[in-house]
Amino acid sequence: MFKKIFGNNNKPTNDSLETDEAQVIWTEKPREQKKSPPFLTFTLALRPVVVIIIISILIGAAAGAVTGFYAGSYALTKFVSYSQPTILHSITQASSQNQTDQTAGTIAPIILGNQEESDIVSAVKKTSPAVVNVIVSKYVTTYYSDTASPFDELFNDWFGQSVPTPTPNNSQKQKQEVGGGTGFVVSSKDGLILTNKHVASDETAEYTVVTNDGKKYDAKILAQDPFNDIAILKIEIKDLPEVQLGDSEKIQIGQTVIAIGNALGEYRNTVTKGVISGVGRRVVAGDNTGSSEVLENVIQTDAAINLGNSGGPLINTHGEVIGINTAINSQGQMIGFAIPINQAKQVIESVKKYGKIVRPYLGVRYVLINEEIVKKNNLSVNYGALVLRGTDQTELAIIPGGPADKAGIEEGDIILEVNGVKITEDNSLSKTIQNLKPGDEVGLKILHKGVEKTVKAKLEEYSPR
């Protein structure tokens, strides 16, 4: 049955017939029209003329409106374009007069919206002078050709420049920027700059530090932390502004923080604001080269940490550095991570005292036990560090001759406690050991072939092999 043309609630009248195939509209013979009076005939005759006049008026009005709109826009654009400098000049003059004559009272001083905004501005002004850009340069092989490519003209038309054809025979080495990041001065008298190890990792590269006032200084890698993403650069200049270090143990979730850094490698001292979203995170950070590093007990923040911000300070509203901006989660939004500044304090003091980073080490490779490992291996304990070799044959579980080897620890043992403190995912073995010093003797509670026992180990200074 077809759908009625009258609507759902109307029934067909006797002027229509409803069938299963179609709806037929009955036709009637036109009614005979009565003859109109002469004046009415005249009026009807004029109707087309009136319609034409009305249409002409409407068209004229529309055309006038369009013309007026564009003419007005053009005039307004010209007025704004030429009057804007005058307006800015007037504001500048008024501001200058307000600064020199505080008693005039004609223009009120700018007042920030609330105390937090005032604190943030003060914190940035306090810290920014000590934040630097780190430029990584290297001599790389470049290729050029004396002959033109048939596609040069095409690319020149599209992109405004020709594309040379590579010719290995005419190669030469040129110094180019190959990377960069951010750092901040932690010791003015020693010229020490703290940054990330992944920013200053290439021993064959050259490093340049650009200070907040645009001055450039040559820098060299003084130390790299073997167990954390921290490095120290040194410049031969003193009396630079120095940051104030805070206490990362006192931070709280929801606390306002500010990240400062060389965003995208070109926007110097970019400032972003956010809050601390989490603490005590454990993440695996890496890059597109395949290298990665486990970062433990890091700070999570939603303050935007862009590429190029690595090594920059994460500060509180007092202008104190509480973290080192290090990594972002590329799969999420506004998820960044910073190394707590307390982890770097020992590094800074070690470099000041010894000229290098002195770290204790136990000499084991391990994986922290979790529920999945417990289920797959039917373990009798649900915490500890399982001593295990790496995926590569060279990644031994026990470093020969190291403290763990001397203490009799073997592959497959589970280190349960260090000095009576349990080893868990929140309190890893590495974190526990790094709170100690080379030469310290520790008591290790281990599970060896299903039997618990306690052994003694004397920590030694780590030296890269």
Listed by start position, the domains of the chain span 37-92, 131-235, 247-354, 360-461
Q: Pick the catalytic residue: 128, 187, 190, 198?
A: 198
- CA angle centred on 133, ends 128 and 136, rounded to 5°: 170
- pLDDT, tens only, 2-11: 333 333 333 3
Q: Which residue type sits at 296?
A: E
Is 103's pLDDT higher than 50?
Answer: no
Is 112's pLDDT higher than 60?
Answer: no
Binned at pLDDT 50, 70 and 90, residue 118 comes out as confident
Candidate from 169-183, 291-305, 400-414 with smallest mean pLDDT: 169-183
Find the radius of gyration of the CA atoms of the chain: 38
Binned at pLDDT 50, 70 and 90, residue 315 comes out as very high
- pLDDT, tens only, 353-369: 888 888 898 999 999 99
φ, ψ dihedrals at 296, nearest 5°: -110, 145
Known active-site residue 310: yes
Give the pLDDT confidence score for residue 37 in this predicted structure: 53
- What is the rounded average pLDDT of the residues 375-395? 88
Furthest CA-CA distance within the chain: 128
Q: Which residues of 309-325 are buried (b: 16+ CB within 10 A; e: fewer)?
A: bbbbbbbbbebbbbbbb
C-alpha distances in angstroms, 56 versus 46, 48, 66, 371?
16, 12, 16, 84
| Torsion angle defined by CA atoms of residues 121, 123, 126 and 129, in that order, rounded to the nearest 10 degrees | -80
Q: Pick the catalytic residue: 310, 350, 428, 430?
A: 310
What is the SS3 assignment for 430? helix
Give the pLDDT confidence score for residue 423 in this predicted structure: 94
DSSP annotation of 349: H
Q: Pick the catalytic residue: 190, 225, 229, 413?
A: 229
Average pLDDT, the chain: 75
φ, ψ dihedrals at 23, nearest 5°: -115, 120
Binned at pLDDT 50, 70 and 90, residue 213 comes out as confident
Range list of β-strands (E), 211-302: 216-224, 231-235, 244-245, 256-263, 267-286, 292-301
Alpha-helical runs (H) found in 25-103? 38-100
- pLDDT, tens only, 51-63: 567 776 777 767 6
C-alpha distances in angstroms, 91 versus 84, 86, 108, 294?
11, 9, 12, 53
What is the SS3 assignment for 204? coil
Give the pLDDT confidence score for residue 50 in this predicted structure: 57
CATH second-level architecture of 247-354? Answer: Beta Barrel (2.40)
Which CATH fold would you assign to the domain 131-235?
A: Thrombin, subunit H (2.40.10)
- The hierarchical CATH code for the domain 360-461 is 2.30.42.10
Q: What does pTM read for this prediction?
A: 0.62
Distance between first and last Cα of the chain: 89
- pLDDT, tens only, 244-266: 999 999 999 999 999 998 887 67
Tokens 């901006």 correspond to 325
Burial of residue 359 (number of CB atoms within 10 Å: 0-12, 13-18, 19+):
buried
Same fold? 131-235, 247-354: yes
